[in-house]
Structure 1
Amino acid sequence: MDETLKMFKALTDANAISGHEKEARDVMEKYITPYADKVYTDNLGSLIAEKTGNANGPKVMIAGHLDEIGFMVTRIDKDGFIYFQTIGGWWSQVMLAQRVTIMTRKGNVTGVIGSKPPHILSAKERNKTVEIKDMFIDVGAMNKEEAEEFGIRPGDSVVPYFEFVPLKNEKMLLAKAWDNRIGCAIAIEVLKRLQDEQHPNTVYGVGTVQEEVGLRGARTSAHAIKPDIAFAVDVGVAGDTPGVSDKEADSKLGEGPQIILYDASAISHKGLRDLVIEVADEKEIPYQYSSIPGGGTDSGTIHLTANGVPSVSITIATRYIHSHAAILHRDDFENAVKLFVEVIKRLDYDTVKRLILA
């Protein structure tokens, strides 16, 4: 496994739901610190790595979010079964019988989201989706007291369990939490590759917190940085699986990063978007267009910071997002990094001023 794959594994295997991002933040800090002049956090816990090319140039923010979707323990019943609140957006059909990790003050506890066996389901139950409020986690406790002895208590984080693995086609990578550790990986790699490049600005590689519950860390980190230009880096919807029509999603794995035209939280800044496309065409870096009418990215709060920040979201087409495991293509990571490096090299003050007025 090469160094990039080791970084992917460390990032995605880390357990870090919204509001409890420490494990992922520690991994990102380890990998990004060698390439930054300064690394610090805001008061909500977002990680900010600062690399200066020209201290008098514009500030460029590249934000991927640290948090993943998961659950939070809300109560333990008398028989030792765990009930929970979802953290982030879940579809109930991808949850039953899935393994989870409960992060307790005494260490991690393994559990499974319980389900009835088909042998005892009525015809009506077979045709009905189980509601999330009726689900529970089985940790093997015989009663409430034993579950509490394991260290479990309300408020504990519950994280989907899955280990990173390259598939037989080694460019296809399967893991939990690609949403959005791939954005964090891109921020790390961009700072790494800028080590040997001249850039007329200061670049901030950021791992934001609590994106999945309202783009919250992007707001606080953007206030700390006060960027002139910003990019949100996230996953996007892949449309290359059975049952997905071109009208729903037409992006394909391996055909380049997605340039987001519109999402529910932000319209991409036209001047900045045009520059990104111009650079991609000139450097023959493949890309795809996409929009996310039913969701948002960190651009949604970053672009509203202070008197406004021209922002664009660039995403990686990913299959099966917001489930226990997702697939993306390594070439899309590589091409996204190339695109960011080339764009950043052109973001001097004159260019940024021109973009704002575009």
Structure 2
Amino acid sequence: MAELNLGLLKQLCETPGIAGREERVATVVQQALAPLVDEIRRDPLGNVIAIKRGKGGPRVMIAAHMDEIGFIVRAIDDRGFIRLQPVGGFDPRVLPAQRVRVWTREGDGLLGALQATVKPPHLQQAGDDKSVTINDLFVDLGLPAEQVKARVEIGDMVTLDRPCEVLGPTVLSKALDDRVGVFVMIEALRAVKEHVVEIVAVATTQEEVGLRGAQVAAFGIDPDIGIALDTTIAGDVPGFEPEGTVTKLGAGVGIKVFDTSQLPNPALVQHLRAIADREGIPYQLEVLPRGGTDGGAIQRTRAGVPTTTLSVPSRYVHSVNEMAHLDDIAAAVRLLTRFLEEAHTGRYIPGA
């Protein structure tokens, strides 16, 4: 298999796109997918839908979401400080003193400091509340109030300002959730050879606010098989008990067994495991006690779809420094590629 195109991964991670505002990322995805497929389009919710025709086999929908967690501008006060409305679930503890970009209607990304309405240590008194909530956060653009109000509007997108960096065998970035899944999807379509199934690759929108893009895309596509691609928790760090790690970095792609959005199809899980065992692809069985993926929306579309999720283990999920292992990413690409080449052989309806 060809070497991973890390330049594309970096471009995907660094392009801004919160839920409902994925158009910049969609352009990058569409440009990358167009040479690999027979047909490509966007639907009314902004999903990028790419079709690679097969030879009369079943229709396989692959879904990876483009949106990252972030904010929109909720208010601008008389001093030019910006208050925020979260779009997706950030832990407020990781946010104070970060840098952000406020994306204006002209397309400018204004750099600012994300701060909290908490006194600095020099001025704190005994008993002062040092906890931080989302409502305590504000953005300081370092500009006069009149300039802020002239350039920034209510509803403008705000994203964290962190580059994608390779650290030896790992990659560190904002928005690996789920730009790395989009990357796996693109790389698998680049690598796939002979296949009978019709492949419908969907870069979905609005996953972080309720799996909305996957829901409408799956309804229109009416797939026979669904594979979601996402990140999952790698709890192999201080603070986790061994039984609660979910997955470990560098131990292989996650094959979903359970999350709170879906109960994956057992026969589909077993087929993926059999391919991985045969091909020597490292994998981990993933039980995620809380959380979900686009697979939950695909599974419940129309009359039901056999579905599971392939996961890239990630440390520090929903933070500005998500970390994944390049070997796990490569394993996800290999497993998805091999599955697409033989998905027509599977039988996934219970009792059929």
Unpaired runs of 5+ residues, structure 1, are: none
Kept in 2, the 8 Å contact 1:81–1:141? The answer is no
The one-letter code sitting in structure 1 at the alignment partner of 2:139 is I
Summarize the alignment of residues 284-323 of structure 1 with structure 2, pairs less than 5 Å apart. 284-323=280-319
Q: Among residues 176, 192, 206, which one is paired with 2:174 in the alignment?
A: 176
- On the 8 A contact 2:233/2:313 being kept in 1, the answer is yes
User: What are the superposed Cα offsets for residues 280-336 of structure 1, whole Å, 9 maximum, x if unpaired?
Assistant: 111111100112221110011111111011000110000111111211011111111
SS at match of 1:48: strand
**Contact 2:4/2:330 (CA < 8 Å) preserved in 1?**
no
Letter in 2 for 1:146: Q
Aligned-pair distance for 1:90? 1.1
Preserved CA contact (<8 Å) 1:113 1:136: yes
Aligned positions of 1:254-265 closer than 5 A: 254-265=250-261
- Deviation, 1:122, is 2.3
Q: Give the TM-score, by structure 2 length.
A: 0.95
CA distance in 1, matches of 2:343, 2:246: 30
1:323-334, aligned counterparts within 5 Å?
323-334=319-330
Per-residue CA deviation, residues 70-125 of structure 1 (Å, 9 max, x unaligned), is: 01111001111000111111111001011111111132111111134221122333
1:77 aligns to 2:69 (yes or no) = no
Residue in 2 aligned with 1:191?
Answer: 189
Q: Distance in 1 between matches of 2:206 and 2:125?
A: 40
Choose which of 324, 327, 348 in structure 2 pairs with 1:355: 348
Match for 1:123 among 126, 149, 153? 126
Distance (whole Å) between structure 1 residues aligned to residue 338 and residue 7 of structure 2: 25
SS at match of 2:323: strand
Distance, in Å, in 2 between the alignment partners of 1:47 and 1:67 is: 12
Matched, 1:226 2:228: no
| Matched residue type, 1:57 | G
The equivalent of 1:50 in structure 2 is 51
Shift of 1:250: 4.1
For 1:121 and 1:97, the matched residues in 2 are separated by: 17
1:1-358 aligned at under 5 Å gives the runs 4-54=5-55, 56-106=56-106, 107-115=108-116, 116-125=119-128, 128-143=130-145, 145-149=146-150, 151-167=151-167, 169=168, 171-194=169-192, 197-348=193-344, 351-352=345-346, 354-357=347-350
Is the 2:246–2:287 Cα contact (8 Å) retained in structure 1? no
| Paired AA for residue 121 in structure 2 | P
Structure 2 SS opposite 1:264:
coil
Q: Distance in 1 between matches of 2:144 and 2:134?
A: 23
Write the distance in 1 (CA, Å) between the matches of 2:15 and 2:282.
Answer: 30
Counterpart CA distance in 1 for 2:232 and 2:155 is: 30
Distance 2:155 2:246 in 1: 39
Does the Cα contact within 8 Å between 1:38 and 1:51 map onto a contact in 2?
yes
Instruction: Say which SS state the counterpart of residue 210 (structure 2) adopts.
Output: coil
Q: Secondary structure at the match of 1:153?
A: coil
Q: How many residues were matched structurally?
A: 346
1:148 Cα shift? 1.3
**Helix, strand or coil at the partner of 1:180:** helix
Q: Do 1:92 and 1:129's aligned partners in 2 also have CA atoms closer than 8 Å? A: no
Runs of 4+ in 1 over 6 A off after TM superposition: none
Take 2:326 and 2:313, find their aligned partners in 1: how far apart are those partners? Answer: 11
Kept in 2, the 8 Å contact 1:42–1:220? The answer is: no
Unaligned ranges ≥5, structure 2:
none
TM-score of the superposed pair, with normalisation by structure 1: 0.94
Q: Does the aligned pair in 2 maintain the 1:44–1:209 contact within 8 Å?
A: yes
What secondary structure does 2:251 align onto? Answer: coil
CA distance in 1, matches of 2:87, 2:290: 17
Per-residue CA deviations over 1:131-175 (Å, capped at 9, x if unaligned) read 2112111111332x22112x11111110011011111x2x21111
Distance 1:112 1:319 in 2: 25
Deviation at 1:240, TM superposition (A): 1.3
2:28 and 2:304 map into 1 onto residues whose CA distance is: 31
C-alpha displacement of 1:3: 6.6
AA aligned to 2:174 is K
- Indicate conservation of the 8 Å contact 2:246/2:288, yes or no: no
Aligned mates of 1:138, 1:317 — CA distance in 2? 34
- Which digits, 9 at most, give the CA deviation of each residue in 1:25-79, with x for residues without a partner? 111111111111111112100101111121x211111111000000111100111
Conserved in 2, the CA contact under 8 Å of 1:101 and 1:158? yes
Greater shift in the superposed pair: 62-71 or 105-114: 105-114
Indicate if the aligned counterparts of 2:13 and 2:164 stay in contact, CA closer than 8 A. yes
Aligned residue type for 1:51: K
